[in-house]
Amino acid sequence: MKDEKLLFELDPNALNALLPGFLKNLFYLILILIPILLLLFIFHYFLPIAFSTLIIIFSIITLALILIPIIIEIKMILDVYRTSYKFYKTHIVVIKKIFGIKKSTVPYSKITNINAEISLWDRIVNCGDIYLFTAEQSEEGIIKLLYIKNPVKMEKKIHELILSHKKN
């Protein structure tokens, strides 16, 4: 397996991975901040609290609510840019280099099914996820190729690799 020639390599698409999460977090942030702002104005009306104090409280809450999605997005960026999927003649290697290196190898002979998931957003940016199922009945039996450009084309290409491996 070590001497085997690399056929092709896939990398996750950053736009497909990050933009939907960012937009979702922005939407939730707005939904959370509007009621908080209304509550602060109600407090200002009924309680003798200075307006500048309310602005400071609102700013602190906003900053905290912004930092949480930023931390999540940074983790996602690290995941996306440090993941690669390498295809050889007889097997697939998934490599994730975050802090350590996690390397998974799956021979084509172990793959029992292939599914492509393409959401509305994925269709717009021509990306999607490909799931390779093995005979193992656990979460480890599913190989996830996430945020792949041209998922239908790649699914067919992987299927052809599996069929050509079974013929040999």
Does the predicted model carry a pTM greater than 0.75?
no
Domain ranges of the chain: 1-168
Examine the pLDDT at 85 and tell me if it is beyond 90. yes
Residue 157 banded pLDDT, cuts 50, 70, 90:
very high
Question: Which tens digit of pLDDT belongs to each residue from 42-75?
Answer: 877 888 878 788 888 888 888 888 888 888 888 8
Residue 130 banded pLDDT, cuts 50, 70, 90:
very high
Examine the pLDDT at 86 and tell me if it is beyond 90. yes
What average pLDDT does the segment 101-118 reach?
Answer: 89
Distance CA 142, CA 92 (A): 13
Per-residue confidence (pLDDT) for residue 2, from 0 to 100 = 57
156, 168 in Cβ contact below 8 A?
no
Residue 137 banded pLDDT, cuts 50, 70, 90:
low
In the block, residue with structure tokens 């945020």? 147
Architecture per CATH, 1-168: Roll (2.30)
Distance CA 93, CA 102 (A): 10
Per-residue confidence (pLDDT) for residue 156, from 0 to 100 = 92
